[in-house]
Amino acid sequence: MVSLYSGAGGLDLGFRQAGYELEFANDLDPLARESYSLVHSDAPGQIDHEYVVGDLSADFSVLGRRESSVLVGGPPCQGFSRAGRMNPSDPRSRHVRAFIQAAESMRPRAFVMENVRALATHPRWTSVLDTLKDEAHLAGYETTTLLLNARDYGVPQSRERMFLIGYRRGDLDVDILRRPVGLRRSSVRSALQALGHPGPTWQQCRARIVPALAPVIRRSPFAGMMFNGQGRPLDLDGVAPTISASLGGNHTPIVDQLWLDNPDERGLATRTYHHQVVSGGHAEVPTSWRRISLREAAALQGFPDVAWDAPLSARFRHVGNAVPPPLAQEVATRLRLALGSPAMATPDKVKLGGLQLTA
């Protein structure tokens, strides 16, 4: 497989876990390569396949013809995201068309482009998606889309994503592609308790938890905006909201350490605070609250536990922008089956990032 817009390599990791062999990866951000190397190698800085930093969109011919490969990538999504301004003129949005151009140049057996759900469902982007499909069709590919939520595939986070999948005509069983392989659920508590510790001090978010002057209240104590920024208390027995690339400040989610240590607490401090705010009374921020660390954000994305290094803001961005590896593995396994390949061509356990990861 060949990977473009690779970032920290969450999409690539999921494909590796499903038995794909990486040949080439690429991203614009030189710091992303450092994060990628931590996730994909036993020795920081060492990757066993080519990783090129830079913009290849001006000439994808440097990739050559790779007709037996699969092309994957997650072009920038900020221009299409509901969390952003949904600006049709956002220059980053051109990269979705560049990805199709890369497929036209490489002629892979299939391609998988990941992006936000809105690109496939919001009326504003209907013409954009139609254009992508038309261009893929002219290049000789049929297309189909999958809309999946990471919470259904072992990721303790609600994260809906679209996967535009292209394939040569008659070379893929769409019914198999749409058939779930790994339905399973996980919780915030299980992910954070498996770590046992939030990580070194430098990885921990120092943004204070300050009550909002004009709080937005919802029925659930885990929704709304009761504090400065959009960081909300996490329901440890449920799944987290979408982990964003803007973590590291007051957008960073909040965890109740007392509840994490003692499940019998049942989030009483969070529920009490919410009740006090709703009733208009005085509400004190619980002393047991803190914001999640980089290590914990990575766990909520489904990454292996690796020795993330500085700079903190860049690593938070890399983690937040990534495709959760378990979600990527679900797509990769479906694709292998739909293409008529064995679901797993590698051992059940793949050693990545210094860990044995069950595939």
Q: Both 61 and 172 in a single domain?
A: yes
- Beta-carbon contacts of 188 under 8 Å, excluding residues fewer than 6 positions away, are 156, 234, 235, 236, 237, 238, 239, 240, 255, 300
Query: pLDDT, tens digit, for every residue of 229-254?
Result: 889 999 999 999 999 999 999 999 99
Query: pLDDT, tens digit, for every residue of 137-187?
Result: 999 999 999 999 999 999 999 999 999 999 998 899 999 999 999 899 999
Question: Cα separation of 220 and 217, whole Å?
Answer: 8
Cis peptide before 311 (omega within 30 of 0): yes
pLDDT of residue 41: 79
Q: Both 163 and 235 in a single domain?
A: no
Cα 117 to chain centroid, rounded: 12
Q: Indicate whether 196 belongs to any domain.
A: no
Question: Cα separation of 63 and 55, whole Å?
Answer: 12
Mean pLDDT of the chain: 89
CATH assignment at residue 120: 3.40.50.150
- Which structural domain range is residue 225 located in? 205-292
3-state secondary structure of 184: strand
Q: Indicate whether 321 belongs to any domain.
A: yes
Q: Is the pLDDT of residue 2 over 80?
A: yes
Strand partners, 70: 110
8 A C-beta contact, residue 117 and residue 160: yes
pLDDT of residue 357: 34
Domain's final residue, options 292, 314, 332: 292
Question: Annotated catalytic, 205?
Answer: no
Q: Both 87 and 173 in a single domain?
A: yes
Q: Both 126 and 20 in a single domain?
A: yes
Burial of 190 (0-12, 13-18, 19+ CB in 10 A): middle
Cα 160 to chain centroid, rounded: 10
Query: pLDDT, tens digit, for every residue of 46-88?
Result: 688 899 999 998 889 989 999 989 999 999 866 555 555 555 5
Please compute Rg for the chain using Cα positions: 21
Question: Cα separation of 342 and 345, whole Å?
Answer: 6
DSSP string, 72-132: EE----TTT-TTTT--TT-GGGGHHHHHHHHHHHH--SEEEEEEETHHHH-GGGHHHHHHH
pTM of the model: 0.91
**Active-site residue, selected from the candidate residues 8, 38, 77, 328:** 77
Q: Indicate whether 271 belongs to any domain.
A: yes
Cα 265 to chain centroid, rounded: 31
Strands, E assignment, 179-259: 211-216, 225-227, 254-256
CA-based nearest residue to 115, from 88, 101, 140, 95: 95
Q: Indicate whether 200 belongs to any domain.
A: no
